[in-house]
Structure 1
Amino acid sequence: MKIFLFFFILFNSPIIAQIVVEGKVTDEDNMPIYGASVYVNGTTIGTMTDSKGDFILHIPSELNTEIITSYIGYKTTYSVIQKNSFKLNIVLKQNVTELKEVVLSQNKFSRKQMLDIFRKNFLGTTKAGKNAIITNEDEIYFDYNNDNFVLTAFSDKPLLIDNPYLGYKIEYTLLEFSTTFYKSSININDAISSSFGGYSVFKETELSSKISKRREKAYKGSFLHLFRNLAQEKWSKDEFLLFEGSFMVNSKEHFKIEKDSSKNMSEVFVEKQDRLLRKKGFIAEFSILYDQKEQSKIFFYTSKFSIDIFGLFTDYDKIYFSGDITKRKVGDLLPSNYGL
């Protein structure tokens, strides 16, 4: 199961900057756009343009993500983060095509059935996932490919998610969602894979000792937790253990970590498993045990990737997962700087 998770909180960051990004956002007529969102995806670094369309971002270091600029009714733009301070002039184009205008094929399953699968594979089935509610579900459109048994979902507008279990409201811009079944079915037990991706804004609605404990539980065993530990070469029976086949192995024999303190980045080199050379593009496969009870697998189709200070990693389209870790979906998402 492959899951793409992109998320951020939007507000002015108090972090002392190493990289300063100044810029202006205008429309195609060179008119400034006031109130456009400009943020670094996967972080708490974000701001909004002023009445002149100007903005300033302070970025602590080079990160494995992009600068995103968005405004209602316009196409979202993506800008690469450079190594030093730089300027951006961003022109937003009107988004004249809406998904609701697209004529979809006749679905053989009911909207209620498709919506139920979407909730389970998008929000998740954990306590947090079950408590999360999409308040504008009417914005979601579905299509079912009867030849390939694939359910897809999309929306013209960000999905508004109320997650009282973790004390957040989320705006999630859905870029992709699909669930593939092994036969013509809409039953979750017949699903063989599911993936989704997008960008999101978190707004804290509650913070109590109970909420804090729930957030910590959501973090433990998550993708963010795993990759932070991998960068720090932190493996233990109380956290993550690494297995090759059924044998516990020393991570240093399979991963070489090179830290670049100037960028707050860790380069990870994956040792190729010779016994799997027959698989094209395949580098390595490991089992991961978290807290001696949660079992997952990780598959590498890249021999090199990097992890930044937040635990965000590159080459996400070449690193696959299965098992318990994939149960953590949007309902369990935390901001990428959680705990830092």
Structure 2
Amino acid sequence: MKQLFIFLGYLFCITTVFSQIKIEGNVTNTSKEALFGASVYVDGTTIGTVTDENGFFSLTIPSNINSVLVFSYFGYSTKYQDISPKLTRINTVLIEDVKELKEVVVQQNRFSRKQMLQLFREQFLGTNKAGSNCVIENEDELYFDYDNKSFVFKAYSDKPLLISNAYLSYKIQFQLVDFECEFYKLSINSSDILSALYAGTSFFTDIDTDKKYLKRREKSYEGSSLQFFRNLVSNKWGKDDFLLFEGSFMTNPTEHFKVTIEKEGIYKINVTKQPKKFNKKGFIAAFNILHDKKEQSKITFFTNTFYVDSYGLFSEYDKIYFSGDITKRKVGDMLPSNYGL
């Protein structure tokens, strides 16, 4: 099964953020009224704040990161801002979000909301210990659509999903932008999925930093895509980390990936094209990955160039696919992108 997991920050152009940048500004509505308590955060991190009674915020970004600032306030459309080292003050105007009544199309659908909600939990949160210990506190905000002809299941939420992760001890605010599962037949079972993806912005808040939670977070990090891309740019490979295989033969990563520093904290990766193995349009290369001598995954590239920042966030998200053990790590195992840095 092909899996694709995205943060909205990956959708934006590569930018460079130098360490210890202070960004401040005001958040107002179209009537120039200050919005008190608006959320301002760096997508995918624990870096965030809320506006005061004057709509003022001040935020220090401590390191290089390829992400965006998210401005969110209940009843208003969320706004995104590319982070630039030259942009130290941002005055943001949020527009009131007037929701129209959704048209209800009555069609024969053999799947109940309970079944669709169960599928969403499995493919969004995960079914391992971390995923099973996550609770979406506002599940009523979710609504679903299943196209009986194309076998495509979609999920939506107009408000951020509020997720309590008791296993890793995080509170997560996740603005769902996209969620889609494509099946090879009319089914609601995860075993029948051809491909799955989700996209959105997220903000993490620590609940407890007891040693047991820190140990669990480290376990979730080990073998994750975040660790893989951090290791890739630092050329860190080995039997206790990741080993790269071309087919069933171990191969030297430097023969397949050329890593160059594009800007401070931004790395350009060139992927060497493999001999044509199948007639999939745009195919560049595919590798098997072994982590810690036991977890087996596969990564397939449909791009010969992409970028990774010092946090491990990568561009060209829609052209890089994982399968295997690494895809079992869903939102339940998701860590802030500034984890460990």
In 2: Cα distance, 1:40 partner to 1:138 partner: 26
In 2: Cα distance, 1:19 partner to 1:277 partner: 47
2:134 to 132, 135, 146: 132
Aligned residue in 2 for 1:167: 169
Aligned residue in 2 for 1:88: 90
Once the two structures are overlaid, the 10-residue window that deviates more, 141-150 or 43-52, is 43-52
Q: Are 1:309 and 2:310 an aligned pair?
A: yes
Aligned residue in 1 for 2:14: none
In 2: Cα distance, 1:7 partner to 1:268 partner: 20
- Alpha carbons 1:19, 1:85 under 8 Å: kept: no
One-letter amino acid matched to 2:338: N
Q: Are 1:248 and 2:250 an aligned pair?
A: yes
The structural deviation recorded for 1:95 is: 0.9
In 2: Cα distance, 1:75 partner to 1:241 partner: 44
1:37 to 32, 39, 42: 39
- Over aligned residues, Cα RMSD in angstroms? 2.2
Superposition pairs for residues 210-229 of structure 1, below 5 Å?
A: 210-229=212-231
- Alpha carbons 1:42, 1:312 under 8 Å: kept: no
Superposition pairs for residues 37-76 of structure 1, below 5 Å?
A: 37-76=39-78
In 1: Cα distance, 2:42 partner to 2:240 partner: 33
Secondary structure at the aligned position of 1:129 is classed as: helix
One-letter amino acid matched to 1:150: V
In 1: Cα distance, 2:182 partner to 2:281 partner: 23
> Measured at CA, do residues 46 and 203 of structure 1 come closer, stay the same or move farther in structure 2, by a change above 3 Å?
closer
1:184 to 167, 183, 186: 186
- Alpha carbons 1:62, 1:82 under 8 Å: kept: no
In 1: Cα distance, 2:290 partner to 2:196 partner: 22
Q: Deviations over 1:278-333 (max 9, x none)?
A: 54322211111111111111111222222112111112122111111111001111
Secondary structure at the aligned position of 1:43 is classed as: coil
The structural deviation recorded for 1:243 is: 1.0
In 1: Cα distance, 2:106 partner to 2:51 partner: 40
Aligned residue in 2 for 1:11: none
- Alpha carbons 2:20, 2:61 under 8 Å: kept: yes
One-letter amino acid matched to 1:73: G
In 2: Cα distance, 1:251 partner to 1:298 partner: 13
Secondary structure at the aligned position of 2:5 is classed as: coil
Report the count of equivalent residues. 332
- Alpha carbons 1:64, 1:314 under 8 Å: kept: no
> Measured at CA, do residues 288 and 178 of structure 1 come closer, stay the same or move farther in structure 2, by a change above 3 Å?
same
Aligned residue in 2 for 1:339: 340
The structural deviation recorded for 1:84 is: 2.7
Once the two structures are overlaid, the 10-residue window that deviates more, 274-283 or 248-257, is 274-283
Q: Are 1:287 and 2:288 an aligned pair?
A: yes
Q: Deviations over 1:176-214 (max 9, x none)?
A: 111111111112222222111112222222222222211
Aligned residue in 2 for 1:209: 211
Q: Deviations over 1:104-153 (max 9, x none)?
A: 44332111111111111111011111121222222211111000111111
In 2: Cα distance, 1:312 partner to 1:56 partner: 24
Secondary structure at the aligned position of 1:21 is classed as: strand
One-letter amino acid matched to 1:207: T
- Alpha carbons 2:154, 2:179 under 8 Å: kept: yes
Identity of aligned residues (%): 55
Once the two structures are overlaid, the 10-residue window that deviates more, 224-233 or 150-159, is 150-159
> Measured at CA, do residues 256 and 307 of structure 1 come closer, stay the same or move farther in structure 2, by a change above 3 Å?
same
- Alpha carbons 1:121, 1:329 under 8 Å: kept: yes
Aligned residue in 1 for 2:29: 27
TM-score, normalising length: structure 2 = 0.90
- Alpha carbons 1:259, 1:265 under 8 Å: kept: yes
Moved over 6 A (4+): none
TM-score, normalising length: structure 1 = 0.90
In 2: Cα distance, 1:17 partner to 1:35 partner: 26
- Alpha carbons 1:35, 1:50 under 8 Å: kept: yes
Secondary structure at the aligned position of 1:3 is classed as: strand
In 2: Cα distance, 1:63 partner to 1:16 partner: 8
> Measured at CA, do residues 291 and 157 of structure 1 come closer, stay the same or move farther in structure 2, by a change above 3 Å?
same
The structural deviation recorded for 1:20 is: 3.2
Secondary structure at the aligned position of 1:34 is classed as: coil
- Which ranges of structure 2 fall in alignment gaps of 5 or more residues? 10-16
- Alpha carbons 2:43, 2:203 under 8 Å: kept: no
